[in-house]
Structure 1
Amino acid sequence: MSGNKKILLAGGGTLGSVSPLIAISSKYQADYLFVGTENGPEKDFVMSHGIDNFQSIRSGKLRRYFDWQNFLDIFNIIVAFFQSIKIILKFKPDIILTAGSFVAVPVVFAGWLMRKPIVVHQQDILVGLANRLMAPLATKITVVFNDQIKDFNSKKTVVTGNPVRTTTNVFVKDDKLVVITGGGLGARSMNKFLRPFVEKIIKSGFKVYHVLGSKNADQALDIEGYYSDKFINKSMLDILSQADIIISRAGMSLISEAASLKKALIIVPMPDSHQERNASFLAKHNAALMVRQGNYQIMDRYLDKLLAKEELRLGLGENIYKLFPKNAINDYIILIDQILND
């Protein structure tokens, strides 16, 4: 295929479904259009990483239980489907890439109807409803681990690992650092759970950098050695690279970035969500420490160990690094070229 390729990326609502796509776009030369939600955090994030062409569509969540909101969301999904057709007709993408999210579903359905190649990427251990709907229409499905192949049609499923952004910045590290983050939208309940431990961390000789979330600025603490931000766009990976310990939710996107940096990770999964399966998978492989939100005793015990023992921190970092497949971006790019050159 000659000329500059045109690639449509679809995802949003949270940054978990966006980060792998940004990692690909940073290494693969093409004309990109990103289709996301109207009110999510992804627009600023995407544009800060060099993709200026962003279009939003309606978004509706598909619930597996009765809720009056379902009726409005069905209408939004129908509108989004026709918006997607219009966008695809105008942009004429050579391929559509998504890493999940409900906003991508109408885009993929429209793309399939218009015979566009589609790659659906599955990050989380538990397959969500959006990817279950999109997978049958995909040209190829990419997964992070071999264990995930069983969840899809094996004939069109490829293990690539999880594409992650990279940092080339080199820092002189003076202080030991714990980074706390609840993901792209922040996590108010997790911030509240971790509040009693901040002083303990600082008294142990560590600084704390806390990404609160865009609506959680009121949860910032006034303690020497504690720094906070509401939301980080482009420099988040640089901050993670400085951490000795990362305490976070259990979204696979941030976990993968921590793995690439060989960081000791304490994960507090969102209660009653797919994140609990991600956390259990890592804990089973001794690649991270899992703490259920509200279990103060376990968090206190794990912090005592990690703050005191550098060898334990380094060991966890090595374990999570070894668990994840390497060269994910390169393998994903090879797959894109294979599809486009078929």
Structure 2
Amino acid sequence: MNNNTIVLTGGGTAGHVSLNEAIIPELIKKKYNIHYIGSYNGIEKTIIGERFPEIPYHPISNGKLRRYFSLKNLSDPFKVLYGTLQALSVLKKVKPSIVFSKGGFVSVPVVLAAKLANIPVVIHESDLTPGLANKIASSFAEHIFTVFEETIRHLPENKASSIGAILRPDLFQGNDKIAEQLTGFDATKETIIIMGGSQGSAKINDVIKQNIDQLTRRFQLIHLCGKGNKDEFLVGKPNYIAFEYVTTELPHLMKLSDYVISRAGSNSIFEFLELKKPMVLIPLSIQASRGDQVLNARYFEKKGFANVLEEENLTPNTFMDSINQMVNNKEDMIDRMFETNASKTPEQFVELLLTYKK
């Protein structure tokens, strides 16, 4: 084992990569040799490649783990098996002292390979209930860190602990002037940032298009629309700008924004909470997901931090009603946000993580 080598894994969505993004600089400071195992074409490859080109990236095969019947369920176990053998080859070559997994389908073969190689695995679960990948992988993990106390009851006994959210320090280093340069907007005007997730949301994009004139009469709109989703009809509209995807620009865009409209991944919600941004959450529906975003959204709505608009109820009218309700409740939301502080820095998390290495 190499005590100064760590393998990170996680992917499929930006939420399964963001924590790894946050802790990599801390691991570099501690002079760790970092390797990343991800899928061949997942968003993790793009994010890690763009932000940390010096980190070796090892692509492996992975199958999707489904809770429903599909003919692909017959072939995907073989993909997972092949990915496990590929991951095992990487682990034997780099000899890490620990593997850290943020979840997603690609993490399962990596965790299985680490178990076969007798390398300790630590997992992080950020949703109220664990995803299927983390649920499977948790049986082979040394420890599972969770954001919510409630999540622990869904995991193996005596192997999980709740530590709150882990927030990136750079998120709080946004600059209005840089944001104005990026957008052409005026920092003194009310601005909404709209985030449909790393892949975008056709339904959210559509209601923005239908309400664009009404919205831009009152607000400046920063629209993170997803790869390949820029709408030519909206390009050049006053008080509107679209980005397919952002990385280092996000802190500046968040600094400029007064309100957030977003999907309901818990990492993102905690960031909005810490930045004191009133929010409308539009969770992925149960039909399109396992329902984790619906649970997240309801949890934060109950605490008074957000308004929730179910995707099934999303229309041009309900969209505008939710925005108006958020604006009217702005002060109350922000007051409640100042009463909570349940987060850790990446530096604190890395210290906890490394206690489990060999």
- Give the TM-score, by structure 1 length: 0.91
The CA deviation at 1:59 is 1.7
Distance 1:313 1:4, change over 3 A: farther
Name the CA distance, whole Å, in 1 between partners of 2:221 and 2:24.
31
Aligned position for 2:352: 335
Write the mapping of 1:185-204 to structure 2, written as runs, cut at 5 A.
Answer: 185-204=199-218
Name the CA distance, whole Å, in 2 between partners of 1:281 and 1:220.
36
Give the total of aligned pairs: 336
Letter matched to residue 64 of structure 1: R
Write the mapping of 1:315-330 to structure 2, written as runs, cut at 5 A.
Answer: 315-320=332-337, 322-323=339-340, 325-330=342-347
Cα-to-partner distance string for 1:204-231 (whole Å, 9 max, x where unaligned)? 2x21011111121236614211000112
Aligned position for 1:100: 103
The CA deviation at 1:99 is 1.5
Distance 1:60 1:319, change over 3 A: farther
Letter matched to residue 9 of structure 2: A
Aligned position for 1:36: 38
For 1:238, which of 241, 252, 255 is the aligned residue? 252
The CA deviation at 1:328 is 4.6
Matched position secondary structure for 2:191? strand
For 2:314, which of 283, 295, 301 is the aligned residue? 295
For 1:250, which of 244, 264, 277 is the aligned residue? 264
The CA deviation at 1:37 is 1.3
The answer to whether the 8 A contact 1:256-1:324 is kept is no
The CA deviation at 1:334 is 2.6
Name the CA distance, whole Å, in 1 between partners of 2:156 and 2:164.
17
The answer to whether the 8 A contact 2:126-2:266 is kept is yes
Q: Which moved more, 1:277-286 or 1:325-334?
A: 325-334
Name the CA distance, whole Å, in 2 between partners of 1:74 and 1:152.
23
Name the CA distance, whole Å, in 2 between partners of 1:269 and 1:237.
22
Matched position secondary structure for 2:336? helix
Name the CA distance, whole Å, in 2 between partners of 1:36 and 1:88.
13
The CA deviation at 1:108 is 0.2
Cα-to-partner distance string for 1:51-74 (whole Å, 9 max, x where unaligned)? 532121112111122211112312
Distance 1:219 1:56, change over 3 A: farther
Cα-to-partner distance string for 1:287-336 (whole Å, 9 max, x where unaligned)? 111101243344322212334x4xx3243245356556122534422322
Write the mapping of 1:48-197 to structure 2, written as runs, cut at 5 A.
Answer: 48-50=50-52, 52-167=55-170, 168-172=173-177, 173-197=187-211
Structure 1 unmatched ranges of 5 or more = none
The answer to whether the 8 A contact 1:161-1:324 is kept is no
CA RMSD of aligned residues (A): 2.2
Aligned position for 1:16: 15
Name the CA distance, whole Å, in 1 between partners of 2:341 and 2:39.
30
Aligned position for 1:213: 226
Name the CA distance, whole Å, in 2 between partners of 1:321 and 1:276.
24
Write the mapping of 1:217-232 to structure 2, written as runs, cut at 5 A.
Answer: 217-218=230-231, 221-222=234-235, 223-232=237-246
The answer to whether the 8 A contact 2:169-2:345 is kept is no
Cα-to-partner distance string for 1:73-118 (whole Å, 9 max, x where unaligned)? 1221111011000111111111111121010000001101111111
Aligned position for 2:330: 313
Matched position secondary structure for 2:168? coil
Letter matched to residue 227 of structure 2: S
